[in-house]
A = this chain, B = another copy of it.
């Protein structure tokens, strides 16, 4: 989060975070355990939209949440960090349901009105009783302004919490959009667990809200993932409480929908970029921008192929303008009949490849100067159409290996 950014509460949303001993480590400022269970309460009458992982080994909470949201609009989101409750079979399903039941019993709603989420190590049994034991405390501490605590409570290997908040006017009324997210190993984000919870006090029909979430994700969280959302636990939830005074948005065609989408998308983009900035071991923020493609899909294929190449990533880490690796990665992308003589590549404002070969005016010094920066844009022009796409990624450093080698130690 941009530290100067204000976090605006969202009328109709209350949050609380607690320490249940699921996540290892201690908060150095308070010498207490790290927050690892979060409860989000959604007011009655709200609309809720959700998108989940496409990994076939999706985690138990994903299976439960998918089923619950089909029958009724949720009133509570229960999230734990430190344990993904994935690969845990029927016992994991029972644990996820038990956690929902504990919230339902104490919060006087039905079990199906609670959506469970988990993030952390895969394949370990969920310590459900530790979660259920803190639920009474969580319910009693629910607070409109506890967004920062909630953002901390969902963190795993994140080194800082991720919040974004914006306000805008709709029908002359002030409307708020506030969200939190957590990231993970960002070199292969399809393996990562990404969770994001975004709320607005706008009033929005549930199917329109689902479209808004889909449209916002396409330009944000899906630009940092490889092939959609394919970890075992990925989830993104968009809530609209309807407590603002603007009229209800009932169609994706109108002006009000687009105004809302712009702000929801901006909040999601900010969260997605925070995830990349905090990518495991990341020292650089890299935008791979592909233009001149025949369609968006081939632009994305090229962008992902470059963004995922360990050789490209280690060159960025070393600030080495080894642009041949970018060229080789473009050549590896799975697209049809690419004419290499139409391809140009810019590193920042320096043209490194023109018409498929090293630009005549390129010098190592020019490339080096761009590579020293912390934020680098690589623009690849395929020279065969008008479509474009971008992907945000980071470099591959020693610390990526360190973090992932020592994750469970």
Contacts and interface: CB of A to CB of B under 8 A. Distances in A.
Interface of A: 55-58, 84, 86-90, 92, 121-124, 185, 187-188, 190-191, 227, 230-232, 309-311, 314-315, 317-318, 320, 322-325, 327-332, 334, 338, 340, 353, 355-358, 396-398, 400-402, 404-409
Contacts of A400: 310, 314, 401
Given A188-B311, A191-B309, A356-B57, A327 B87 contact: yes
A275 to B, nearest CB: 16
Given A122-B322, A227-B334, 4 more contacts: A230-B331, A232-B328, A314-B405, A320-B408
A356 B408 CA distance: 22
B322 A121 contact: yes
A332 B190 CA distance: 7
Contacts of A188: 309-311
Contact of A87 (B332, B353, B401, B407): B353
A231 B328 CA distance: 7
30 contacts: A55-B328, A56-B338, A57-B331, A86-B328, A87-B328, A87-B353, A87-B357, A87-B358, A89-B355, A121-B322, A121-B324, A122-B327, A123-B322, A187-B310, A188-B309, A191-B310, A191-B311, A191-B329, A191-B332, A227-B334, A231-B332, A311-B404, A314-B401, A314-B405, A317-B405, A318-B407, A320-B409, A322-B407, A398-B398, A400-B401
Chain multiplicity (copies)? 2
Contacts of A89: 355-358
A318 B402 CA distance: 9
Contacts of A357: 87-90, 92
Nearest to A53: B331
Nearest to A352: B123
A55 B314 contact: no
Contacts of A90: 357
Contacts of A327: 57, 86-87, 122-123, 232
A57 to B, nearest CB: 3
Nearest to A396: B401
A331 B56 contact: yes
Given A89-B358, A121-B324, A123-B323, A58 B331 contact: yes
A26 to B, nearest CB: 22
Most buried by B among A338, A358, A407: A358
6 closest A-B pairs (Cβ-Cβ)?
A122-B324, A89-B357, A57-B331, A318-B405, A123-B324, A314-B404
A355 to B, nearest CB: 8
B310 A404 contact: yes
A409 B371 CA distance: 15
A95 B119 CA distance: 55
B408 A322 contact: yes
B317 A401 contact: yes
B324 A405 contact: no
A309 to B, nearest CB: 6
Contact of A310 (B310, B323, B398): B310
B330 A57 contact: yes
Nearest to A316: B405
| Central interface residue in A57, A89, A357, A406, by most chain B CB within 10 Å | A57
A328 B57 contact: yes
Given A57-B331, A123-B327, A353-B87, A401 B397 contact: yes
